[in-house]
Amino acid sequence: MADIAEEFLDHALDIARGAARAAGELIARHYARGVEVEFKPDATPVTVADREAEDTIRRLIGRAFPDHAILGEERGRSGTSEFLWLVDPLDGTKSFVRGTPFFSTQIALMHAGELVLGVSHAPIYGESTWARRGGGAFLNGGRVHAAGTRGLRDAVLSFGNIKSLTKDTQRWEALGALIRDVNRVRGYGDFAHYHLLARGALDLVIESDVNILDIAALAVIVREAGGAFTDLHGNELSLETTSVLAAATVELQSQVGKRLAAT
């Protein structure tokens, strides 16, 4: 674990929170009046709100840390540094263009490959969460903690992007068995189920077809709330991560991980 001064992390977190708020205000204005939708080569939607929000975040982070690198959803990567900012300016564009409030701004900082802070700001939904390494997790200014759930029979599970999980027959059958053993199953999706996990309102999140920009900030928040966060294979997160297994406790994450690994 790389050594970084807490004062630096606190300052960087303040900058990230300010950038997320500024992006959120811009996004909220576009949301209120509506925007035209374009499509990227991968057929995913993009709007002027996505691009303007990322430009705002880049400007504010770049002003504070001109030597840091930034990897953004819309503008790609700029700079070379052991400090890499991961930015998804409008995570949930499909929800945004359909007029539902399940979208957010995600900003995280990675240092030498380790995620050290994250901000998840959902302006229309009304929740902002943040955390930095060793500093705990917060939602709308109050400290939050993951539940202490250790057994499947007491666990509430939320799925995301389950369509892609059906492609692996063995994995899908294992997930079916898991569903039968947990207490309840929901599908909150996007930022929402990670916010719920961090504040103790559910216990497990399984998701596929993600990008590290979608989940980097949320991973820091869940971990600082006391939870565990890996990919579906139990691996540490990296720029290549495409799946999630997050849990309220390490014990619960380990149980689920072993069952999925057996497929």
Measured distance CA(263)–CA(253) in Å, rounded: 16
Q: What pLDDT score does 263 carry?
A: 57
8 Å CB contact between 71 and 77: yes
Task: Taking residues 246-251, report their average pLDDT.
Answer: 97
Residue 117 scores a pLDDT above 70: yes
Residue 185 corresponds to which tokens in the numbers above? 């199953």
Q: Report H helices in the chain.
A: 6-33, 48-64, 93-98, 162-165, 169-181, 192-198, 212-224, 250-261
8 Å CB contact between 206 and 232: yes
What are the backbone angles phi and psi of residue 133, rounded to the nearest 5°?
-55, 125
Helix (H, G, I), strand (E, B) or coil at 184: strand
Residue-range domains of the chain with CATH: 6-135 (3.30.540.10), 152-261 (3.40.190.80)
Give the pLDDT band of residue 1 (cuts 50, 70, 90). low
Laid out side by side, the sheet with 69-72 consists of 76-78, 69-72, 83-91, 104-111, 114-122, 127-132, 137-139, 142-144
Helix (H, G, I), strand (E, B) or coil at 73: coil
Measured distance CA(100)–CA(64) in Å, rounded: 33
Helix (H, G, I), strand (E, B) or coil at 43: coil
Residue 107 scores a pLDDT above 80: yes
Give the pLDDT band of residue 163 (cuts 50, 70, 90). confident
8 Å CB contact between 150 and 182: no
Q: What percent of the chain lies above the pLDDT cut of 70?
A: 98
Per residue in 132-160, pLDDT (tens digit) is 999 999 999 999 999 999 999 999 999 99
Helix (H, G, I), strand (E, B) or coil at 250: helix
Per residue in 63-94, pLDDT (tens digit) is 999 999 999 999 999 999 999 999 999 998 88
The CA-atom distances, in angstroms, between 172 and each of 168, 169, 182, 204, 206 are 6, 5, 15, 17, 12
Per residue in 186-233, pLDDT (tens digit) is 999 899 999 999 999 999 999 999 999 999 999 999 999 999 999 999
Q: Hey, which bits of 32-183 come out as E strands? A: 38-39, 45-46, 69-72, 76-78, 83-91, 104-111, 114-122, 127-132, 137-139, 142-144, 156-160
Measured distance CA(201)–CA(1) in Å, rounded: 30
8 Å CB contact between 161 and 243: no
Measured distance CA(25)–CA(174) in Å, rounded: 42
Give the CA angle between residues 176, 223, 173 to the nearest 5°.
10
Query: For the purposes of burial, counting CB atoms within 10 Å of the CB of 51, is it exposed (0-12), middle (13-18) or buried (19 or more)?
Result: middle
Q: What percent of the chain lies above the pLDDT cut of 90?
A: 77
